[in-house]
Every structure is written in structure tokens, then in C-alpha cells.
Amino acid sequence: MELNVMQPDQLDDLIQGISLADYQVIGPMESNGAIAYEPIESADDLPRGIIDHQRPGKYALQKIQSSRFFGYTVSPFSWKKYLYPPVQTLFKAERNGQGIQLETDSHDVKYAFIGVRACELSAIKIQDKIFLGGDYVDLHYKERRENALIVAVECFNTCETCFCDSVGSGPEIPNGADIVLTEILESGEHYFLVRSETEAGQEILNQISLKDTENNHYLIKDAQLERVRAKLKRKVQTTGLKSKLLKNPDHPRWDEVAERCLACSNCTMVCPTCFCADVFDINDLDGNTKRERRWDSCFTSDFTYIHGGNIRHSVKSRYRQWLTHKFASWQDQFDSLGCVGCGRCITWCPPGIDITEELKALSIPPNQYKKGEINHV
Ligand code: SF4
Ligand code: SF4
């Protein structure tokens, strides 16, 4: 697709154009010391000049002297909170004097997501397979997803916890976005390289007067991506990982990680691909009822409660289930990994458990592994 140049003050024209096309614009903003994805009204709401520092169990924002709009890496929140809300009323049945009135979930808001990173777009594509692939389509997700417009933004920086490259989800933006932006701020110049990838994206861009690119713009864009790639220090060696995990349910490392894991479920809540949920019926004394779907986690003891009891009593069995699903059985289920390397589960794990270290340790044959061999940061 054709690449054009957009000036920084035209970013607001883009946001207003999207809004006029009847989308609710959701974008990054600073909120309570973190980057949140919330409804925005203009480019002034974006976290200009703010970068994030992420390490295992640590997160902080910093205001720097920069006019960059997208200088942070990823928010603690993911776009799944809009496509697959944490709490969702599936239907309500209420008595109205003449009978029962049934109201099903219907969603008439069209979302436009501004600032979707490569790993996040990969995560959306994974959730598309979960909710839209196969014989059973989730109509609640479908309605939200089909109407969504995605404006992806290439990363110019990494955080210490991300590793998109080694799981094949970045740093290039995969297909699936409507508009792709690359923010360039170098040699005293600030501009965006912009391209549309769909008709919906092109219609929005048609309203902005963009300039043509010059040859060096392609080189500048490629060089920026190369710098990002070079900064990605965390890696996962995925070759042979599935069989190593499935063959070693008694690897001594599972006991070690279980000593650190609090089973708090933070990792699953922040993960953009995790999709476990529970369903509750809420009844009142007037005979009304409401069915709600709420995110759940394989780390909670109730999640695996089935007739007669809980099948995963220990933290070890729950951690093993999570990691083995992400990197092994997910491949059988959805033909991909269940991880896009966004690093959120590392940043937001209170004791700072790092899945890349755990996978490295678990890849050592159990009979050659020495306790504490792969140390945590
Ligand atoms: S498992 Fe961790 S790094 Fe992978 S997608 Fe989920 S939160 Fe991101
Ligand atoms: S791995 Fe970390 S975030 Fe996940 S449940 Fe254990 S302590 Fe909580």
C-alpha cells in the first residue's frame, strides 16, 4: 500500500475524521500513573512526551522533553477490554406485569482503536480465532470486532519485558490494521508515515491532505524498525518447546516457580490473549434474572471446580497449566502460540516471575537441571 507523509498537527484531523465517521475513538492516555486505553476526543488527550519503564514486577511512567505522541510501549490494559469486556451482561429477563421481557446484549457502538501495537494486533488476531473460528462463533465478540477500526502504530522503542520478535508477533505491524502509522522524530523533524490497508482506512485518509514520500522515508522507517529489533533482549526459543513442556510435567522447575507464584491471576488479567470466563445468573426476589459473563483465570481455585471438587489443588499445577497451554496445547487448539510477547505478565507479576526465564529453565532436560540454574532478575 502507498506510504504518505502526515504532519503531527494532522493527527488531530485523523482523530476528528474517524469520529465524524461515527466511531467512538479509543486511544492511549495517562491515567493514574499508567497508560490506559480510554475514549479520547482529540490528539491533546494522547500521552505526549511520556515514556514507560517496565521491568519484572515494576512499572513507571516518565515525562521527558519530547513531542512524540506514542513514546510508551504497551499499556497495562489491552484492547480486549473493549472487544471482550471483563464483565458483560449476556441477557436480562425481567417481569413487566404482562409476562417476561427478554433483552439480549446488543452493542451499537463502533470502536476505533488508535495506537494498536504489532503484538496487540497479533493478540486481536488470536482472539479472532478463539471467538470467531470453528463451529461456535461468539456473537457478542463478533458484533464488536466486525465494526472496529484499527489504527496501528509501529513501535519506536521497547520495554525491558517485551519479546515480540521471538514469538513472531512484531515489531512489524502484521496485516489486519485499517491504517498504519510510523512516528518519526529525528534530525529535528517530526512527522508520521501513514498507509491505509483497507477501504475503511482509505476513506478516512482521503479526508486529510497528505504529502508524498521520498525515497529516504522508506530507509528511515526500516532503520527505526531495525533499532527496535536490536533492542529486544528477551527471547523465547520456540523450536521444540511444545514437546519439552508436554513431556516434562514433573520438571523440578515447576516446584521452584510455584514457591514464588502467588496465584494472584494478574498475569491472566493483563494478558491480551487469555480468554477464560465464568458465567453467573443473578436473580432477584421479584423474579428478574440477568446472566453475566466475567473474566476468570486458571490461577483461581474455583475455576477448575467441577463436580466433586477442584482438579488443580496446587499452585504448581495451575502455573503449569497456564504456561503449558500458552506455549504447547494452544498450538493444537488454535494453530498458534497463545503468547504475543507483550511482556505484560512479566511487568505485572508481583514477584516478577518472567515467563521467558521459566521457559529457558524448563527447556533444560530435568535430569541435567540444577535448582536455581536460571536465576530471576
Ligand atoms: S503470556 Fe505474557 S507476554 Fe505473552 S501475550 Fe500474555 S501477557 Fe503478553
Ligand atoms: S505468575 Fe505472577 S502474576 Fe501470575 S498468578 Fe503467579 S504471582 Fe500472580
**Angle at the Cα of 50 (from 48 to 52), degrees rounded to 5?**
145
User: How many CB atoms neighbour CB 211 within 10 A?
Assistant: 12
| Residue 306: predicted pLDDT | 85
Nearest by Cα to 188 from 67, 306, 56: 67
Buried-state track 300-315, b at ≥16 Cβ within 10 A, e below 16: beebbeeeeeeebeeb
Write the DSSP assignment of 312-372 as a string of letters.
Answer: --SHHHHHHHHHHIIIIIHHHHHSS-S-----HHHHT-TT---HHHHHHHHTS-GGG--TT
Nearest by Cα to 295 from 274, 271, 276: 276
> In this structure, is residue 102 part of a structural domain?
yes
> In this structure, is residue 106 part of a structural domain?
yes
> In angstroms, how far is CA 174 from the centroid of its own chain?
14
Ligand 1 atom, smallest distance to 267 CA: 7
* Residue 71 domain boundaries: 4-231
CB-based burial label for 149 (10 Å; 0-12, 13-18, 19+): buried
Protein residue with its CA nearest to atom 8 in ligand 2? 264
| Residue 360: predicted pLDDT | 96
Ligand 2 mutation pick, 59, 254, 267, 339, max ligand atoms within 8 A of CB: 267
Q: Which ligand is nearest to the CA of 270?
A: 1
Residues 211 and 250 in one domain: no
Protein residue with its CA nearest to atom 6 in ligand 2? 261
Among 180, 198, 231, the domain-final residue is 231
Q: Beta strands 277-283 and 211-212: pairing type?
A: unpaired
Q: Which residues have a Cβ under 8 Å from the Cβ of 250 and sit 6 or more positions away?
A: 366
Among 210, 231, 252, the domain-final residue is 231
In three-state form (DSSP H/G/I as H, E/B as E, the rest C), the secondary structure along 79-129 is CHHHHCCCEEEEEEEEECCCCEEEEECCCCCEEEEEEECHHHHHHHHHHHH
Q: Which residues line ligand 1 (CB under 6 A)?
A: 270-273, 326, 339-345, 355
> In this structure, is residue 373 part of a structural domain?
no
Residues 147 and 288 in one domain: no
> In this structure, is residue 99 part of a structural domain?
yes
> In this structure, is residue 209 part of a structural domain?
yes
Residues 163 and 255 in one domain: no
Ligand 1 atom, smallest distance to 270 CA: 7
Cα–Cα dist 239/259, whole Å: 28
The tens-digit pLDDT sequence of the chain (377 residues) is 789 999 999 999 999 999 999 999 999 999 999 999 999 999 999 999 999 999 999 999 999 999 999 999 999 999 999 999 999 999 999 998 888 999 887 888 999 999 999 999 999 999 999 999 989 999 999 999 999 999 999 999 999 999 999 999 999 999 999 999 999 999 899 999 999 999 999 999 999 999 999 989 999 999 999 999 999 999 999 999 999 999 999 999 999 999 999 999 999 999 999 999 999 999 999 889 999 999 999 999 889 888 888 889 999 999 999 999 999 999 999 999 999 999 999 999 999 999 999 999 999 999 999 987 777 65
Residues 38 and 104 in one domain: yes
Ligand 2 mutation pick, 261, 320, 377, max ligand atoms within 8 A of CB: 261
Task: Provide the grid cell at 331.
Answer: 498450538
Helix (H) or strand (E) holding 28: strand 23-31
200 in Cβ contact with 178 (< 8 Å) = yes
Residues 258 and 111 in one domain: no
Q: Which ligand is nearest to the CA of 303?
A: 2
| Residue 122: predicted pLDDT | 98
Q: Which residues line ligand 2 (CB under 6 A)?
A: 261-267, 299, 349-351, 353
Residues 38 and 173 in one domain: yes
> In this structure, is residue 236 part of a structural domain?
no
User: How many CB atoms neighbour CB 55 within 10 A?
Assistant: 16
The set of long-range contacts for 183-190, using a CB threshold of 8 Å and a minimum separation of 24, is 183/68, 183/69, 183/70, 183/153, 183/154, 183/156, 184/217, 184/220, 184/221, 184/224, 185/66, 185/67, 185/68, 185/156, 186/220, 190/8, 190/67, 190/68
Protein residue with its CA nearest to atom 5 in ligand 1? 339
Nearest by Cα to 56 from 208, 190, 257: 257
Residues 317 and 174 in one domain: no
Ligand 2 mutation pick, 322, 353, 362, max ligand atoms within 8 A of CB: 353
Cα–Cα dist 119/111, whole Å: 19
Among 178, 199, 231, the domain-final residue is 231
Distance 282 CA to ligand 2 centre (A): 29
Ligand 1 atom, smallest distance to 342 CA: 8
> What sign has the CA pseudo-torsion 73, 79, 80, 86?
positive
In the block, residue with C-alpha cell 486511544: 27
> In this structure, is residue 80 part of a structural domain?
yes
Cα–Cα dist 204/163, whole Å: 32
In the block, residue with C-alpha cell 521444540: 240
Distance 338 CA to ligand 1 centre (A): 8
Residues 167 and 269 in one domain: no
Distance 340 CA to ligand 1 centre (A): 6
Nearest by Cα to 173 from 3, 355, 359: 3
Ligand 2 atom, smallest distance to 262 CA: 7
User: How many CB atoms neighbour CB 186 within 10 A?
Assistant: 10
Residues 68 and 124 in one domain: yes
Q: Which residues have a Cβ under 8 Å from the Cβ of 287 and sit 6 or more positions away?
A: 95
What DSSP character marks residue 78? -
> In this structure, is residue 160 part of a structural domain?
yes
Ligand 2 mutation pick, 322, 349, 359, max ligand atoms within 8 A of CB: 349
Residues 85 and 179 in one domain: yes
| Residue 376: predicted pLDDT | 64
Protein residue with its CA nearest to atom 1 in ligand 2? 261
Number of domains in the chain: 2
In the block, residue with C-alpha cell 508520521: 192
Residues 82 and 147 in one domain: yes
Q: Which ligand is nearest to the CA of 127?
A: 1
Residues 145 and 293 in one domain: no
> pTM of the prediction?
0.95
